[in-house]
Amino acid sequence: MPNAPSVPYVSTGHLPAPDRVQAFLEEAFEAALAETGGACSDVYPALARVEPEQLGICLVGVSRRSWTVGDADPRFSIMSVSKPFVFALVCEALGPEEAHALLGVNATSRPFDSAAAIDAGEAGRTNPMVNAGALATTSYLPGVTEEARWAQLVEGLSRFAGRPLEVDAEILASARSSNHRNRGLAWLLHAAGRLGAPPEETVDLYTRQSSLAVSAKDLAVMGATLADGGVNPITRERVVSPQVCHHVLAVMATAGLYETSGDWLYTVGMPGKSGIGGGLVTVVPGKGGLGTWSPRLDAAGNSVRGQKVARMLSQRMGLSLFASVPVADGAAEEGNPRS
C-alpha cells in the first residue's frame, strides 16, 4: 500500500503548540524582511517621515498567550485599522440591523478614499471599511456633543486594546492640515443624507480617531477581542456582544483591504483590516488576533510586509477559514484527529 500523503496542519479550534507558533512567527518575520517593495504613505506629511524598514509582529490567542517578533512595541498611528472597532461600537449602540440600514455593507471595489463610491452606492451607502462609510459610521457614535462622542470612541477602543489609548499629536496636526479629501467626502455624505452629525464635527472626530497611537501588540489584542466573541482576552472584559463581532468580521471580509479584499481572502482566508500607518490586523475567529506593523504600502494602501506575514502564517498554521481536510470513512463528524 503506498504511503499516505502528508497532511498540512489545519487548526480546529486552537492554535498550534506554543513553540511551533513562535517558530512560525520568526520564519514569517525573516521572509517578510526580504520584501523591499512599496513605500510609506504620503497622504499626510507626517506619515511620509516614518522609518520604512520597521517590522513588528504579535499574535495573541484567546487563551491570553502571546508571541512577538521584531518591532511589536513601538507605537504608530492606527489610521484605518480603527474602522472595524468603531463600527463595532456603533453596532453595539444602534443594533446591527440599524447600522446595516444606515451604512451599507457591500464592497465598493474602489480605492479607500473614493468619492465615486458614494454616488454608486445605494442612496449614498458604502461600507464601514472605506473612508466614506467610516465617516458615516463615526457620525453615528452616541453622544450629544462632539466631545461626548469622542469620549465614547476613545474609551471603547481603549477597552478593545486593554489599555488607555492616546492621540499622536504630530500625526493629528499633520492630518488636520491636509485631510481635504475626507472633508469633501463628508460633504457629499451630508448631501446624500448619510451623516448623523454635522460634516465638520464628523471629519474632526474621524481624524482624531485615525491619529490614535497603537502598537502591533495592541492590534493583536484588539483582533483577539473580536476573535473571542467580544471579550478582551487580556482583561477578560466584555467589550461588545458576540452578535456584533459576527457582523464586524463580515464587513472586514468584504472590504478590509479595499479593492484587493478578494485577493486577500483568496490567499489569507481571514477577516483583516489595513491602515496607511502600516498597521494590519487579522482575526482568526475562535483562536486569536494577529497584529503587524510595517510602513511600506502597496498601491492600494496595504502593508506589503504585513500581507506577507499574514499569508505565510495562514498557510503554515492552517488558519484560513476555508481550509479543511477530508474526514476518514467512519470517523466522527466532530473534530479533526490530524490536527
158 CB-near residues (< 8 Å, 6+ apart): 164, 165
CA 185 to CA 173: how far, in whole Å?
Answer: 20
Phi, psi of 134 (to 5 degrees): -70, -40
Sign of the C-alpha dihedral, residues 158, 162, 167, 170? negative
Cross-strand bridge partners of residue 60: 66, 289
Average pLDDT of adjacent 10-residue blocks, the chain of 339 residues: 45 79 98 96 94 97 96 98 98 96 87 79 88 96 95 98 98 95 95 95 97 98 96 97 96 94 96 97 96 96 97 94 66 42
Tell me how far CA of residue 165 lies from CA of 15, 34, 161, 185, 256, in angstroms: 28, 32, 8, 27, 22
Helix (H, G, I), strand (E, B) or coil at 158: helix
Helix (H, G, I), strand (E, B) or coil at 205: helix
SS3 content of the chain, % helix, strand, coil (to 5): 45, 10, 40
Contact 226, 84 (CB under 8 A): yes
DSSP state letter for 230: T
Give the chain's domains with CATH numbers.
Answer: 18-317 (3.40.710.10)
CA 292 to CA 58: how far, in whole Å?
Answer: 6
The reported pLDDT for the residue numbered 134 is 96
The reported pLDDT for the residue numbered 335 is 42
108 CB-near residues (< 8 Å, 6+ apart): 114, 117, 120, 121, 126, 127, 130, 255, 259
CA 121 to CA 135: how far, in whole Å?
Answer: 15
> What is the tens place of the pLDDT at every residue in 280-304?
999 999 999 999 999 999 999 999 9
CA 232 to CA 222: how far, in whole Å?
Answer: 7
The reported pLDDT for the residue numbered 172 is 97
Per residue in 302-332, is it b (16+ CB within 10 Å) or e — as a string?
bbbbbbbbbbbbbbbbbbbbebeeeeeeeee
Question: Can you read off the three cell numbers belonging to residue 32?
Answer: 517578510
